[in-house]
Amino acid sequence: MPQTKPEFLSRPGRASRAQQVLPGQVVFATRRVLGRRFLLIPDRELVWLVKYLLAVCAKRHGIELHEVAVMSSHLHLLFTDWLGRRGLFFNEFHAMLAKCVQRIRGWTLPVFDKRQTNQPVVVTVLGAVEAAAYIQANAVMAGLVASPPEWPGNLTDLRETGWGKRERVARPDVLHREDGVVVRCFDAKNPNWPKDLELELVPLAARLGMAPEECVAQVKAQRDALVEEARAEVAKRGGRFLGRLRAMRRSTRAQATSTEEANEVVPRIKAGRGQGEARRHALADDASFRWDMAECRLRMLQGEKDVVFPAGCFLWARQFGFARHEGVAPPLI
């Protein structure tokens, strides 16, 4: 008899949300501000907050950061999740960042969009190179600045891609609201928030097993292509880049006007251009994982006590205590 499709896979918005979380995965994450407002304009204090929170949360949850960009209405991260704990990392980092942003912006509504963090898993070396190039070029592609180094929210550039960076970051005890009022975001007596610690940006070259010069050259070629394409588009429209000063002076209550994100398809897998076979193989593995998840949940609801969830199951194993198979992410190809 043909296998019956589990009911969970037939319900939109249920089993499709299952995300396989395996130790060693490289992840290209994006989190957007609610309503695409400019609450994350990367002024000095916002960048300070992001650096400190990334340093604390990444160290706590085994996250190895490679690329970071703070845009006015969203964040981009490229990292390796060595412990399979990125769900906890996202929860803590985004929750505390939202709390701090509310205080320094005088904002009372939620900061981030209610949708899940966009977190496609990178499965190829070329996919990782393209993701790094996209993160570095994003401010130019958005029409903000003419070259990536001009954007203050770009915490990584070509040198960090090849050789990484270590930076000591103090806890931002005293910050200033937009109207000049002094605000405090951290309890100095809380041991969860140390007085200072080191933010480490691990070179993507090391993660990909490439020589620093080779990795930088590949990312630069991809980044330059994106930058030239963006410049050509601006010239075609007869316009110009907004410029760093004007971009930084925009109201944090303003909203992005482009509609390109409204109907965007949220990918689950990131492979490089022309690597369709690798992407299809990874998508097939992902579909198999979601099928197994749906069957396990169905069996659990039917009263079975010895259900073992598939490797990569996060919520049901960590939060509800169900057994799961163990596994690690396959190497990048």
Alpha-carbon distance 73 to 31, whole Å? 9
| One-letter amino acid for residue 241 of the chain | F
Question: Running along the chain, 333 residues long, what does each successive block of 10 average in pLDDT?
Answer: 46 60 98 96 96 98 98 97 96 96 94 92 98 98 96 96 97 85 88 95 98 98 98 94 95 79 74 96 95 93 91 86 93 96
Q: Which helix (H) or strand (E) holds 220?
A: helix 212-236
Both 255 and 297 in one domain: the answer is: no
Query: What pLDDT is attached to residue 9?
Result: 45
Domain membership flag for residue 330 = no
Closest listed residue to residue 27, CA positions, set 99, 84, 72, 74: 84
Query: What pLDDT is attached to residue 108?
Result: 93
Alpha-carbon distance 169 to 174, whole Å? 14
Both 311 and 165 in one domain: the answer is: no
Length of the chain: 333
Closest listed residue to residue 314, CA positions, set 10, 21, 16, 13: 21
Would you say 135 and 69 are in contact if contact means Cβ atoms under 8 Å apart?
Answer: yes
Both 134 and 233 in one domain: the answer is: yes
Both 301 and 200 in one domain: the answer is: no
Domain membership flag for residue 84 = yes
Both 203 and 295 in one domain: the answer is: no
Distance of CA 291 to the CA centre of its chain: 26
330: tokens are 């396959």
Would you say 223 and 154 are in contact if contact means Cβ atoms under 8 Å apart?
Answer: no
Both 236 and 308 in one domain: the answer is: no
Cβ atoms < 10 Å from Cβ of 59: 15
Q: Which residues of 133-143 are buried (b: 16+ CB within 10 A; e: fewer)?
A: bbbbbbbbebb
Domain membership flag for residue 195 = yes
Both 84 and 167 in one domain: the answer is: yes
Both 254 and 283 in one domain: the answer is: no
The boundaries of the domain holding residue 40 are 21-267
Query: What is the CB-side half-sphere exposure of residue 206 using CA atoms within 13 A?
Result: 14
Both 252 and 290 in one domain: the answer is: no
Total number of domains constituting the chain: 2
DSSP-based three-state secondary structure for 298:
helix
Alpha-carbon distance 24 to 329, whole Å? 5
Domain membership flag for residue 209 = yes
Domain membership flag for residue 47 = yes
**What CATH number does residue 167 fall under?**
3.30.70.1290
Domain membership flag for residue 98 = yes
Domain membership flag for residue 2 = no
Closest listed residue to residue 282, CA positions, set 82, 121, 127, 132: 121
Residues 6+ apart with CB under 8 A from 74: 30, 31, 32, 33, 36, 40
Both 247 and 289 in one domain: the answer is: no
Domain limit, last residue, from 246, 267, 288: 267
DSSP-based three-state secondary structure for 160:
helix
Residues 181, 39, 101, 54: is their CA dihedral positive or negative?
A: negative
Query: What pLDDT is attached to residue 259?
Result: 52
Query: What pLDDT is attached to residue 257?
Result: 76
Query: What pLDDT is attached to residue 258?
Result: 66
Both 173 and 126 in one domain: the answer is: yes
Both 28 and 111 in one domain: the answer is: yes
Alpha-carbon distance 205 to 106, whole Å? 40
Domain membership flag for residue 179 = yes
Alpha-carbon distance 200 to 212, whole Å? 17
